[in-house]
Amino acid sequence: MRYIPFTQPYGRTYARFGGRFGGTGLEHEVDQLFGTLTGSAQFPVDVYQDKINTYVRAELPGANRDSLSVEIVDGSLSIKASRQQQSAEGEETVTVSRLVALPDDVQADKVTATYENGVLTVTLPRQEEAKPRKVNVSVN
């Protein structure tokens, strides 16, 4: 049997077993939920969630720090960055941007972001669960 490595468009190769791309069967559903197609993305993004926060991690090596822009627009996170690129004509500025759909329970005014080692990490606190309320109903 010939071992044919599975490669992503970026040229990554994985061991045949192991790695989280083995197929949990949910990738398609997750893609739909978040509405991001890897075909159109220019930089990879990971989304994590725990009880307190949602985390969005974007790989943006070499970005100009003052060009980094993170905004919440209509329930989506808009990430924009630009970096200098050497080309045949000299230096030019390349801008990339991406819209990442967010879960509904984001506290938009408490979002923070850090940029370290070329990775932009956005921390989005989740809304605390509404406390259950007791409602008295009188029955006639």
Partner 1 sequence: MSLFTTLIPSLNGGPITTATATRRPRHEISEVNGDYQVTVYLPGVAKDAIEITDEHGELTVTGAVKAFVPEGATALHRETPDAAFHLVIQHDESIDADKIGAEFKDGVLRLQLPKAESAKPRKVAVS
A 10 A CB-CB count for 45 gives 19
* 28 lies in the site for partner 1, by CB under 8 A: no
Q: How far is CA 77 from the centre of its chain?
A: 8
Least Å from the CB of residue 120 to partner 1:
9
Which residues are within 8 A (CB) of 26 and not within 5 positions of it... i.e. 6 or more apart?
none
Question: Cβ of residue 136: shortest distance to partner 1, in angstroms?
Answer: 38
Asked if residue 94 lies in contact with residue 82, where contact means CB atoms within 8 angstroms, the answer is yes
Residues 88-107 that bind partner 1 (CB under 8 A): none
**Positions in 51-70 near partner 1 (CB under 8 A):** 51, 53-55, 57, 59-63, 65
Of 48 and 97, which CB lies nearer to partner 1 in the complex structure? 48
Query: To the nearest whole angstrom, how small is the minimum distance from the Cβ of residue 138 to partner 1?
Result: 44
Binding to partner 1 by residue 10, rule CB under 8 A? yes
Give the residue with the Cβ less far from partner 1, 13 or 140: 13
The DSSP annotation for 34-59 comes to HT--TTT-SS-EEEEE-SSEEEEEEE
